[in-house]
Amino acid sequence: MKKKVTIQDIARKANVSKSTVSRVLNKTTPVEEKKATAVLAAMKQLNFRPNAFARGLAGGQSMTIGVVTQNIGSPFYDAVTQGVISALSATEYSPIFVDGQWNKEIEATSIRTLLNRQVDGLILIGGNLPANELKKLVESKPLVLVAQRLEGFEKNCLSVDNVEAGLKATQFLLDLGHREIAHIAGIPEHEDAIQRLNGYKTALQNAGIALNPKLLVDGNFSSQSGVLAVESLLARGVSFSAIFAANDEMACGARLALYRRGIRVPEDVSLIGFDNQPASAFMTPPLTTVAQPSREMGSAAAQIILQQIAGEEFQAPSFPVEIVVRESAIRRW
Amino acid sequence: MKKKVTIQDIARKANVSKSTVSRVLNKTTPVEEKKATAVLAAMKQLNFRPNAFARGLAGGQSMTIGVVTQNIGSPFYDAVTQGVISALSATEYSPIFVDGQWNKEIEATSIRTLLNRQVDGLILIGGNLPANELKKLVESKPLVLVAQRLEGFEKNCLSVDNVEAGLKATQFLLDLGHREIAHIAGIPEHEDAIQRLNGYKTALQNAGIALNPKLLVDGNFSSQSGVLAVESLLARGVSFSAIFAANDEMACGARLALYRRGIRVPEDVSLIGFDNQPASAFMTPPLTTVAQPSREMGSAAAQIILQQIAGEEFQAPSFPVEIVVRESAIRRW
DNA sequence: CTGTTAGCGCCTTCAC
DNA sequence: GTGAAGGCGCTAACAG
């Protein structure tokens, strides 16, 4: 273990005061050219590494953004995370991640450790903290919510219009000629799931098609639940020519269940998912899906946090969705 | 913005000194029961939040573990990350992640910021820093390398035996009766890829089958490269009855390419991948693959780091691989 | 432009 | 057991 080198050391070596060193380090005040280079030289020579803790303590800024993800490993959240990382990597700030695991308790304590670490801002990606907790947070720290709504703080919230997205997906199938369209919904309490379902209902209504409850199955966003959903559908004996799943993972599970029953996609039934996760393009057949601009949402989140920290005006933009047409749903019915 | 509450505040409120507060906070010295409860009460009432920076500065420990991942979003690395998170969540330490993006430069600067943040230990998951850099690191900080080897520091390295794994996968196909087995390799510079390829060669040799270079294609671990690999194979006009891909993503791409050509899996060609990523179980047909205990490796990494920090003896265990048999490769040839 | 002087919030001797 | 004092490394006024 080598002893640490501090600005004191390099001050001595460059024959200046600590302050001057600090100044060249932060470019906060002009410094005489000559001294500056001497300082830089000393820093390099001694392999100086500013102590982030000391800086944070003294300056009051930690230069870190806390990011709470849910279940690292889920394609959508991963993509958002990527966006945050890349947007932040161009700045002085670095992100520190904790995993909320879709668990209220864990999420709360995770946020607490983040706060203890003096993060300068907080990005919550997904999550299900009660609104009053969130309000407390938003009032004390720069905050951005991704894929989550908070009454009265719309400008801190980043998400797509899930109703419209659900409507579009369903409409797409209707335009193909389908009349019997099943929907595999997400977690019933989940806002996104509810809205996508609403979009589905609205589209049907617009088309003058009565909603058939038998065509509605609850899932929980996992592949496994997609499998079960299709089996349940089949067990009910309803006929359907298309399925709209509330996310790609469930679509993937559904596809497997169909395969096992010898039902072909898209010849016998069309399938459309949601999220455009990377693997979807490589399913057999490739999955038609609704794309959210997740990466863009991640970098927007980073930007907005930075604006808040800087005390600037900010306003969360709204993000458009788009249907990515692939073979799983191209056959006219 | 509410003002921060410090141990000073709670000391006043509890009629004790800062030191006493510090003591109940860290349980470093016995404190009179009565005062202790008073302190605890005050902390709760004022919603006290110890400043991690101040603690780090004063105590010299940051209670954070730096984790360098490559390309968050890749199933294998994600799983390892999950393991780290869950193992660490049971301790006082929290992980801070940075993304190396498989880029030597980015990786180096990422590690630098981690070091600036005074992490108490470092876990590198994948990555391709030169050995001499790594040696410098391992000598100055507790370090664990996952899926990477470093001459002379085997006890800091966590990985499976990729030669044996490649051999097993190939052997599995041989046992099924296949003789013409293609291999889609990973990045040629990548140690894991090389070893898996070596395993493949060894298995063929053991079986007395001459290596056919036409059955060997280079990929780069991406789905896309799997597609290209199969097309290249087909263009060469070699006949093959099975494919061993060096990871699941390439297997996925390969499967898509086969599908496009109307080649059935497993009826015409058997397919086996590597990593057992979650989506593999839901491919059509489900993918046979080689499973690495990635989560376990992650938590082992966390454990070993902690042991190093504590100054204890430590020794990286070795991890077994196992073939997960699914429909993509079950047909005897 | 530059050196000096105070802390930032906490932990850690050290005497009591 | 407990309080007082010093310092971790750095930034932020302050005078010059």
- Asked if residue B2 belongs to a domain, the reply is no
Domain CATH code at residue B25: 1.10.260.40
**Is the residue at B329 inside a domain?**
no
Pairing of strands B322-324, B288-291: antiparallel
Same domain, A195 and A274: yes
Nearest of B14, B315, B30, B332 to residue B178 by alpha carbon: B332
Residue B333: what pLDDT? Answer: 84
Query: Cβ contacts of residue A129 below 8 Å, gap of 6+?
Result: A104, A107, A108, A111
Considering just the CA atoms, what is the radius of gyration of chain B in Å? 26
- Mean pLDDT confidence for B293-320: 94
Mean pLDDT of chain B, nearest integer: 93
Residues A155 and A181 in one domain: no
Classify residue A111 as left (phi > 0), alpha (psi -120 to 50) or beta. alpha
pLDDT tens figures, B113-150: 899 888 999 999 988 899 999 999 998 899 999 998 89
The answer to whether A113 contacts B94, with C-beta atoms less than 8 Å apart, is: yes
Q: How many domains does chain B have?
A: 3
Residue B316 and residue B263: Cα distance in Å, rounded?
43
For residue A2, the model assigns a pLDDT of 55
**B2 pLDDT higher than 60:** no
* Nearest residue to B72 (alpha-carbon basis) of B84, B88, B58, B54: B84
Confidence bin at A250 (pLDDT 50/70/90)? very high
* Burial (Cβ within 10 Å: 0-12, 13-18, ≥19) of residue A156: buried
Contact A118 B51 (CB under 8 A): yes
Q: Which two tokens stand for residue A283?
A: 């399913």
As a whole number of angstroms, the distance between CA B138 and CA B121 comes to: 10
A58 domain-assigned: no
Q: How far is A180 from chain B (nearest CA, A)?
A: 24
Q: Is residue A326 part of a domain?
A: no
Nucleotides of D under 7 A from a protein CB: 1-13
CA closest to B90 among chain A residues: A106
Which DSSP string do the residues of B58-118 spell out, in sequence order?
HHS---EEEEEESSTT-HHHHHHHHHHHHHHHTSS-EEEEEE-TT-HHHHHHHHHHHHHTT
Among the partner residues A1, A57, A253, nearest to B57 by beta-carbon distance:
A57
User: How many angstroms is C1' of C8 away from CA of A60?
Assistant: 7
CB within 8 Å: B97 and A94: no
Provide the mean pLDDT of chain A. Answer: 93
Check residue A1 and give its pLDDT: 46
Across the interface, whether the CB atoms of B51 and A95 are under 8 A apart is answered no
Q: What is the CA radius of gyration of chain A?
A: 26
Phi first, then psi: what are they for A245, rounded to 5°?
Answer: -100, 145
Range of the domain at B99: 64-160+294-320
**Within a domain: A179:** yes
Q: Give yes or no for a contact between A27 and A83, defined as CB atoms under 8 angstroms apart.
A: no
**Both A262 and A185 in a single domain?**
yes
- Do B68 and B130 fall into the same domain? yes
- Name the closest nucleotide to B33, judged by C1' and CA: D1
Structural contact between residues B182 and B216, judged by C-beta atoms closer than 8 angstroms:
yes
Residue B59 within any structural domain of the chain: no
**Would the CB atoms of B54 and A57 count as touching at under 8 Å?**
yes
**Chain A nearest C-alpha distance from B155 (Å):** 19
pLDDT value at position B1?
A: 46
Q: Does B325 score more than 90 pLDDT?
A: yes
pLDDT exceeds 70 at position A329: yes
Same-domain pairing of A235 and A268 = yes
Whether A282 is in a domain gets the answer yes
What is the percent of chain B where pLDDT is above 90?
79
Per-residue model confidence (pLDDT) at position B140: 87
A37-72 pLDDT, tens digit per residue, is 999 999 999 999 999 999 999 988 899 999 998 877
Residue of A259, A263, A284 best to disrupt the B interface, most CBs of B under 10 A:
A284
Q: Is B73 on the interface with A (CB under 8 A)?
A: yes
Quick check: B308 pLDDT over 70? Answer: yes
Q: Is the pLDDT of residue B97 over 90?
A: no
| Range with the poorest average pLDDT among A111-115, B94-98, B150-154 | B94-98
Query: Is A172 in the same domain as A277?
Result: yes
Within 10 A of B29 (CB to CB), how many other CB atoms are there? 10
pLDDT in tens, B182-222: 999 999 988 899 999 999 999 999 999 999 999 999 999 99
pLDDT band, very low/low/confident/very high, at B96 (cuts 50, 70, 90): confident
Token pair for B320: 């077994």
Residues B286 and B174 in one domain: yes
Q: Which chain A residues in 121-150 lie under 8 Å from chain B, judged by CB atoms?
A: 140
Strand positions, DSSP E, chain B? 64-69, 94-99, 121-125, 143-146, 157-158, 181-185, 216-218, 242-245, 270-274, 288-291, 322-324
Estimate in Å the CA B23 to C1' D7 gap, whole number: 18
Mean pLDDT confidence for B252-257 = 97
> Going along A275-315, which residue ranges are E strands?
288-291
Same domain (yes/no): B109, B203:
no
Asked if B186 and B124 sit in the same domain, the reply is no
- Report which residue type is found at B117: R
Are residue B205 and residue B305 in the same domain, yes or no?
no
- Decide if A255 is inside a domain: yes
Interatomic CA distance for residues A215 and A27, integer angstroms: 64
* Same domain (yes/no): B114, B166: no
- Taking the CA of residue B312 and the C1' sugar atom of nucleotide C13, their distance in angstroms comes to 26
Q: What is the mean pLDDT of residues A199-207?
A: 98
C-beta within 7 A of nucleic chain D, residues 20-39 of A: 22, 25-26, 28
B230 and B168 fall within a common domain: yes
Whether residue B38 has pLDDT greater than 50: yes
CATH of residue A208's domain is 3.40.50.2300
Whole-angstrom distance, CA of residue A164 vs CA of residue A293:
15
Q: How many CB contacts within 8 angstroms connect chain A with chain B?
A: 119
Per-residue pLDDT tens for A139-192? 889 999 999 889 999 999 999 999 999 999 999 999 999 999 999 999 998 889
